[in-house]
A and B are shown apart, each in its own frame.
Chain A
Amino acid sequence: MSEALLSVRNLSVQFTTYGQTNQVLKGVSLDVPARSQIALVGESGSGKTVTMRAIMGLLRTPPAKIIGGQIFYDGRDLLTMPDRDRLKLRGTAMSMVFQDPMSSLNPVFTIADQMGTILKYADRRLGRSRSAKERMDRVHEVLGQVRMRDPERVARSYPIMLSGGMRQRVLIAMALLSEPRLLIADEPGTALDVTTQAQILKLLKDLVEERGLALLMITHNLGVVRETSNYVYVMNKGVVVEHRPTAELFEAPRDDYTKALIAAVPRLTGGTSFGKSGAAA
């Protein structure tokens, strides 16, 4: 196994609200090797979102507090890095694709404005400089990479003029602007129709393979896990309960929680029965 690009070691996080303190992450560890597709799956409250935010540096401290562990990127611990260095990595080394295309885009600016601004600040952090035209060229290039038929038109549009699927592609494009090596996708397609979601997931998979990126996907949908990842971490109540190659996990899950989770998913083939007469746990 190649040296992991991203390595979370024993991460523990606590939250303090209204005077009460709860530990939401209890020693979470996971590895994302280069060119791999890792899924982090769990239900609400499992801690998967907190883990993702900790990796990206998006945790609000307070009320959150990292009380232990390390997050290594390319061998360097993000948690002890000076802020300036960490900021340099965001969007450039690792990039996030946000969950809700409806609310993640600012409605009063065009796509070109929003993507141009992101690129401008990323360049600044890296000490690069591009002219406005070069920036626009890059914006169009990336919009083409996410398979937009008419990148110039999309760039000129306001978010409200685009469909949900197109907005999600824009979010992916935004993540790709500065050529990151790691993409973190937060519940991609959850807010979309199932047919649109299928398109987006295929796009993500293709992009990641074409560009040799590493993908860390956060999701609650086991079907998405099976179709888009080759290794999966299952989280429950702040702990990783099981982690295996995807195929193995579904064929022979070891942990009770994983088994219960898989059993609870209704099957397209029928055979899941609900109610007392059913075989529910």
Chain B
Amino acid sequence: MAAQTVTNEPRRLSNAYQNWYRFSRNPTAVIGAGIVILAILAAILAPWITPYPEHVGAVVNFRARHLPPSAEYWFGTDNVGRDIFTRVIFGLRISLLLALVVLGIAIPVGTTLGLLAGYFGGWVEIVIMRLTDIALAIPPLVMALAVAAVLSPDLINSMLAIAALWWTWHTRLIYSITRQLRAQEFVEAAETLGASKFHILFREILPNCVSALAVKTSLDAGFVILVGASLSFLGLGIQPPTPDLGTMVASGSAFLPDYWWESVLPGMAILVVALGFNLLGDGLRDLFDVQEVR
């Protein structure tokens, strides 16, 4: 018998190509991706691309205080004469680092718990999901305040406080996906073929969660940045003179509306970056949603 030949059909395109094609046709998604990439690059290259890298330290230049945006100081200067643009870029570093740390903890923890609860069911599921319910009921900001009151108001402590609660969302998400996938035939097939539980969880089910995780992570990143900025606005973040976007908004607000750039421009930076992540997340979700339907 002759080997089965592929029927005369259009060339089947690889998944990656299809994804890229669809993604690139969505203008807001591309804009979001662009913003995110720019922000990340700017944060990494901060010392080399900012005009006054020394202004992140304890530099004082009273003669250049409260200068409006100009060719020399793109975002103007603050109340002690430091270049706001430079400080915003460095502040971005802190924000993105915060997002990285929080999500870097929340995702592995939350995903693993979600997989275990969704696949094994029984008391494993009960324990994990009830724990999740309890943690979800605690407002993150209040938690951060409490932690700050007990320990010192410090960025690390705040990050840990947020991370300690952030995993719950991921657990919920992965739990529901795992439960659906558990009944799928390829999971049953893996079971009948003798695969270990570890293999089933991490090599069969987890790859199918990647798209949902990608969407959630990019949406979360924006949100974590906002939460971090709020915390430092309240004084719980990194302490001066290290620049931080939230702190800059707070200290600049004292000079509104005359020296508006000191508060508004850092605020805009927060907005733009968070927006970028949101648009990227939405774009990814549009991309993957259609795929599920297929």
> Do A and B share a complex?
yes
Interface residues of B in 16-62 (CB under 8 A from A): 17-18, 21-22
Contact of A18 among B1, B7, B9, B17 (CB under 8 A): B17
Q: Contacting B13 at CB < 8 Å: which of A20, A22, A45, A276?
A: A20
12 new A-B pairs (CB below 8 Å) besides A18-B17, A19-B21, A45-B7? Answer: A18-B13, A18-B18, A18-B21, A18-B22, A20-B10, A20-B11, A20-B13, A22-B10, A45-B9, A237-B8, A276-B1, A280-B1
User: Nearest chain B CB to A15's CB is how many angstroms away?
Assistant: 9
Point out the residues of chain B lying under 8 angstroms from A280, CB to CB: 1
The 3 A-B residue pairs with the shortest CB-CB distance, nearest first, are A22-B10, A18-B21, A18-B13
> Which residue of the partner chain B has the closest CB to A280?
B1
A276–B1 alpha-carbon span in the complex (Å): 7
Q: Which chain B residues lie closer than 8 Å to A18 at the CB level?
A: 13, 17-18, 21-22
Expressed in whole angstroms, the Cα–Cα distance for A251 and B40 within the complex equals: 71
Can you show 15 pairs from A to B with CB atoms below 8 A apart?
A18-B13, A18-B17, A18-B18, A18-B21, A18-B22, A19-B21, A20-B10, A20-B11, A20-B13, A22-B10, A45-B7, A45-B9, A237-B8, A276-B1, A280-B1
Report Cα–Cα, A19/B13, bound state, in Å. 11
Name the distance in Å between A151's Cβ and chain B's nearest Cβ: 35
- Residues on A with C-beta less than 8 A from B22 are 18
Note all chain B residues with C-beta closer than 8 A to A276: 1
Q: How far is the CB of B294 from chain A (nearest CB, A)?
A: 11
In the complex, residue of chain A having the shortest beta-carbon distance to the beta carbon of B18: A18
For chain A, residues 19 to 68, give those with C-beta under 8 angstroms from any C-beta of chain B: 19-20, 22, 45
Query: How many angstroms from the CA of A280 to the CA of B8 in the assembled complex?
Result: 22
Q: Interface residues of B: mostly helix, strand, loop or mixed?
A: loop
Give residues 45-101 of B contacting A (CB, 8 Å).
Answer: none
Shortest CB-to-CB span from B21 to chain A, Å, is: 5
**In the assembled complex, which residues on chain A have CB atoms less than 8 Å from the CB atom of B13?**
18, 20
Alpha-carbon gap, A237 to B7, bound state (A): 10
Q: Which of B7, B10, B17, B21 lies at the interface centre, i.e. has the most chain A CB atoms within 10 A of its CB?
A: B10
Residue numbers in B under 8 Å from A237 (CB-CB)? 8
CA distance A22 to B1 in the complex (A): 31
Give A265-281 interface residues, CB cut-off 8 Å to B: 276, 280
CB distance from A49 to the nearest CB of B (A): 15
Chain B residues near A20 (CB-CB < 8 A)? 10-11, 13
Question: What's the nearest-Cβ distance from chain B to residue A73, in Å?
Answer: 32
CB distance from A44 to the nearest CB of B (A): 10
- Determine the distance from Cα of A19 to Cα of B10 in the docked complex, in whole angstroms: 11
- In the complex, what distance in Å separates the CA atom of A22 from the CA atom of B11? 10
**Which A residues, 238 to 257, have Cβ-Cβ distances below 8 Å to chain B?**
none
CA–CA, A124 and B106, complex, Å:
56
Of all chain A residues, which has the CB nearest B20? A18
Most buried by B among A18, A19, A237, A276: A18
- Give the shortest distance, in Å, between B98 (CB) and chain A (any CB): 38
Complex formed: what's the CA distance from A218 to B7 in Å? 22
Binary flags per residue of A170-192, CB closer than 8 Å to B gives 1, else 0: 00000000000000000000000
